[in-house]
Amino acid sequence: MSRMVVRQLLIAACGWASLSAEDDVAWLATVQQPPAQAPAVVLPDLLPANQSWTQENWETRRKQLREQWLTVLGPMPARPQTSTYEVLRTDTLPTVTRLLIEYECEPGLKVQGYLLRPRGNPAPRSLPGVVALHPTTDRTIEIIAGLEGSVEKQTGLQLAERGFVVMCPRCFLWQDAASLPAAVSQHRMRHPQTLGMHKMLFDAQRAVDLLENVPEVDPQRLGAYGHSLGAKETLYLAAFDDRIKAAVASEGGVAFDSTNWDASWYLGPIIHEPTFPHRHHELMALMAPRAFLVMGGETGPGAADGDRSWPYIAAALPAYQMYGSRARLGLLNHHEGHRLSPESFDKLADWLTVYLRK
């Protein structure tokens, strides 16, 4: 099979066969410009030094990287096959129906989340779906789903009001646990060799399982979004789940030293070992050619992404260039600190709207 045929098959499988430059967000070029003073960061090469960038070399390396990362994360059981859930409460809003649901996450282990569905009578498989992953807060899914907090932080509800079916799962750190360390301990009792980040990835994938089986959701138009802790989950979900066609990670911190990746509920101290060979540009490369946007606030308390994140974007771009279409990967540095302003929310909603349309 020729390289051109392989490329065409891969692009078609990822849903990009019909996209051209006219199908992009109007501002794509602005998030692909290097900052004036991008820091120098030495990152592991995506391909061995003795290999050239070809489709075959990259696909082989991509499989290796995926398996290496999964080995680092540790084993998790097979996800349950069922996509059923119990409705605990129903809220009827002007344009959205909000369901508090409970479903099986790990085998025999229940978790709660909010499922937000635009009202009306949408045709089967006619709407895009988004998994919206909440940030660090003791109120977990209550704010992102629109029950509490400022409108600015009710991002899951806002996406549903724009026509997305939205699934907001509760992170395991707040599911039947008295504290974050207690939640990690409970997880480690079940899975002694598995990092907290893999538990988060597993749970996010279960949310995708449920979302793609909502009758009005088009399973070919699934996306993900998260802020802060939720952005970390989004990075891993988009990297390891090819069902996610477009994603936005807001202020999660791409670099290990930009935030608390060494916490026991993420990757732990392994990332500080001198021999640890991986960095997060590899995960972004695994996403190619799917659309991924990093949003950063640069400075201020808690700010985790910004110009310092650009080297990771740049390092992943060669993988995107292997697919024969315009790279849909970028960094939007809004310089607003560790927050998501209404203007920045409009950008992320535009990204998801454009790259999850038919």
Query: Which residues of 83-138 form beta strands (DSSP E)?
Result: 86-92, 96-104, 110-118, 127-133
Nearest to 65, CA basis, from 234, 193, 239: 239
Q: What integer best gives the mean pLDDT of the chain?
A: 93
Which residues lie below 8 Å from residue 351, measured CB to CB, with a gap of 6+? 25, 246, 248, 291, 293
Architecture in CATH for domain 17-355? 3-Layer(aba) Sandwich (3.40)
pTM of the complete model: 0.93
Mind listing the pLDDT tens digit for each residue in 203-240?
999 999 999 999 999 999 999 999 999 999 999 999 99
Residue 18 amino acid letter = S
Contact between residue 306 and residue 298 where contact means Cβ atoms under 8 Å apart = yes
Give yes or no for residue 128 having a pLDDT over 60: yes
CA 220 from centre of chain: 16
pLDDT at 4: 36
Contact between residue 213 and residue 198 where contact means Cβ atoms under 8 Å apart = no
Which residues lie below 8 Å from residue 352, measured CB to CB, with a gap of 6+? 128, 130, 159, 164, 223, 225, 246, 248
Query: Any idea what the Cα angle at residue 355 is, between residues 353 and 358, rounded to 5°?
Result: 85
Give yes or no for residue 1 having a pLDDT over 50: no
- From residue 303, alpha-carbon distances to 2, 104, 252 in Å are 46, 34, 9
Mind listing the pLDDT tens digit for each residue in 310-324?
999 999 999 999 997
pLDDT at 14: 43
pLDDT at 22: 72
Q: What are the residue boundaries of the structural domains of the chain, listed by start?
A: 17-355
Of residues 286 and 23, the one with the higher pLDDT is 286
Sign of CA dihedral 63, 66, 71, 74: negative
Distance, in Å, from the CA atom of 100 to the CA atom of 102, rounded to the nearest integer, reads 7
Label residue 21 by pLDDT band (50, 70, 90): low
pLDDT at 115: 98
Tell me what the mean pLDDT of segment 154-165 comes to. 98
Residue given tokens 């592991």 in the structure block: 44
Give yes or no for residue 39 having a pLDDT over 90: no
Distance, in Å, from the CA atom of 208 to the CA atom of 237, rounded to the nearest integer, reads 9
Distance, in Å, from the CA atom of 71 to the CA atom of 351, rounded to the nearest integer, reads 32
Give yes or no for residue 261 having a pLDDT over 50: yes
Contact between residue 140 and residue 170 where contact means Cβ atoms under 8 Å apart = yes
Distance, in Å, from the CA atom of 331 to the CA atom of 310, rounded to the nearest integer, reads 7
Mind listing the pLDDT tens digit for each residue in 290-312?
999 999 999 999 999 999 999 99
Tell me what the mean pLDDT of segment 17-36 comes to. 82
pLDDT at 40: 87
